[in-house]
Amino acid sequence: MVSRVIPVEPFDLVVFGGTGDLARRKILPGLFRRFLAGQMPPEARVIGAARAAMDDAAYRAFAAEAIAETAGGGDGPAARAAFLERLGYVAVDAAGTLGWDELGRRLRPGVVRACYFSVAPALFGALAERLQAHSLAGPDTRIVVEKPFGHDRASARALNATLALHFGEGQIYRIDHYLGKETVQNLMAVRFANILFEPLWNARFVDHVQITVAETVGVAGRGAYYDQAGAMRDMVQNHLMQLICLIAMEPPHRFEPDAVRDEKLKVIRALDPLAPGDVVRGQYGAGAGVASYRADADNPASDTESFVAMRVRISNWRWKGTPFYLRTGKRLRARASEIAIAFREPPHAIFDQQEGWKENVLSIRLQPNEGINLRVMIKEPGPGGMRLTDVPLDMSFATALGANGADIPDAYERLIMDVIRGNQTLFMRGDEVEAAWAWTDPAIAAWQAAGDRPRPYDPGSSGPEDALMLMHRDGRRWRDIRE
């Protein structure tokens, strides 16, 4: 299946922090892939901006390396050269006076202007202020703000207020790259473009929902940031919360930014406060050839969680009585993220041999091998009576939609093009972010007040034993974490 590519309007994209890790690994390679796909028009320009002294040629060399590391081949030198020609660089200090006049000279009137804040969050306010002070932002200029968006509700609110001094809500694109994942958007397509699932999508038919976001890496390299955040702030408040919203929300009346975001906000507001017994925090110890969390974070006394599991309840008509179990952590058994919707038993068993019976599960894999799988019961083939067995109806997106996995666009590619198109549907609104913090803050405050210490777990495991018990006590089981 060949996807239709509609070129976006000509644009100037300024990547503040254009020499950083995110620009190198995601933004520049993502733009290159959109260029290869024909979505970047010939007049598009990308300007890297950071403090380091560098000219256009040096920045193009930096970008060429970034692309070579991640693009995976399939393009020729001519395509790379044509892309690199569209790149430039200006040395700019987000918090000082360096480079702003030069940046102003580079930006063109009459094209879409977008500024990607790929710098430390402490600089977001200074950047917004300077863009206006130097008259570099008009009413149509868009700013893209990276995570983390605040550390708690108060800081998120303060950041919203600072950005609002300089930009309207319609100009602010708060990025959560989970929303750019093809499968996550497919969750909405599966729910709202089919008649099959939506009638069953409620507490009457859904026993529970499981969301797992498991990583094999530790925190080495970003320990200083992570130790201040922990899994709750780094993953749950943003990515997992967005997944809960997309699973649980009511159908919006249209697939439009505020219609979707209004429905997501209602879900966040309907979340019950987390009780202490609903949360299990964990921290990985040392294992064969891998350092402990505390060594990785360079904090021998750290009580920060590198794993969290929780039972979440949504108090509304649709979901009352259906728990959502979430878990996310570092140094787990496999790198695997999935959402699983486990349906209830049929109301009455008509077959004699029910021992092979298993619940229907719709699972949506976010990574690796994005795809959707539905387990259904069938008769075990062959004579010997009516024995039941479950089989997967499997749709791997890589197989179904393209020649290989490389055809599935990375989340950042999709989201950057949405910014240029002026479509905020897959970006978080300010009130959503604040509401998400308002839900996580009391849970964090409660475990801090109680002096809760994270349970240790072995690297390569599925997390602490208590996390397994969280579901076992409810008579349910986590699904295996596997690639």
Catalytic residues: 239
Residue 224 interacts with ligand NAP (CB under 6 A)?
A: no
Query: Rounded to a whole number, what is the largest CA-CA distance in the chain?
Result: 82
Nearest distance from C-beta of residue 340 to ligand NAP, angstroms: 25
Contact status: 58 vs ligand NAP (CB under 6 A): no
- Interface stretch with ligand NAP, choices 47-55, 135-143, 261-269, 288-296 (CB under 6 A): 47-55
Per CB under 6 A, which region of 21-29, 59-67, 211-219, 438-446 contacts ligand NAP? 21-29
Distance CA 76, CA 63 (A): 15
Answer yes or no whether residue 476 interacts with ligand NAP by CB under 6 A.
Answer: no
Does the footprint of ligand NAP cover residue 409 (CB under 6 A)?
no
Of all residues in this chain, which one has the CB nearest to ligand NAP in the complex? 20
Nearer to ligand NAP, 210 or 238 (CB): 238
For ligand NAP, the closer CB: 147 or 318: 147
220 sits near ligand NAP (criterion: CB under 6 A): no
**Which one of residues 19, 183, 186, 461 is an interface residue with ligand NAP (CB under 6 A)?**
19
Closest distance to ligand NAP from the beta carbon of 458 (Å): 26
Rounded (10°) CA dihedral 454, 460, 461, 462? 90
Out of 12, 146, 370, 432, which residue is the one contacting ligand NAP (CB under 6 A)? Answer: 146
Q: Cβ 136 to ligand NAP, closest distance in Å?
A: 14
Residue type for 366, please?
L
Residues of span 98-137 touching ligand NAP by CB under 6 A = 118-121, 123
User: According to CB under 6 A, which one of 93, 359, 394, 465 is a site residue for ligand NAP?
Assistant: 93
Closer residue to ligand NAP (CB): 229 or 270: 229
CB 353 within 8 A of CB 385: yes
Taking the least distance from each CB to ligand NAP, the nearer of 28 and 190 is 28
Question: What is each CA distance from 451 to 235, 276, 304, 440, in whole angstroms?
Answer: 22, 12, 11, 17
Residues with Cβ within 8 Å of residue 84, at least 6 apart in sequence: 60, 63, 64
3-state helix, strand, coil in the chain (%, to 5): 40, 20, 40
Q: How far is residue 376's CA from residue 268's CA, in Å, rounded to a whole number?
A: 31
| Residue 82 neighbours by CB under 8 Å, 6+ apart | 35
CA distance from start to end of the chain: 25
> Which has the closest alpha carbon to 185: 366, 63, 344?
366
* Least Å from the CB of residue 222 to ligand NAP: 8
CA gap 88, 108 in Å, rounded: 13
- Asked if 242 interacts with ligand NAP (CB under 6 A), we say no
d(CA 65, CA 19): 12
Q: How far apart are CA 259 and CA 2, in angstroms?
A: 30
Among 8, 40, 50, 131, binds ligand NAP (CB under 6 A): 50
**CB closer to ligand NAP out of 95 and 438:** 95
Residue numbers at the binding site for ligand NAP (CB under 6 A) = 16-23, 50-52, 92-95, 118-121, 123, 146-148
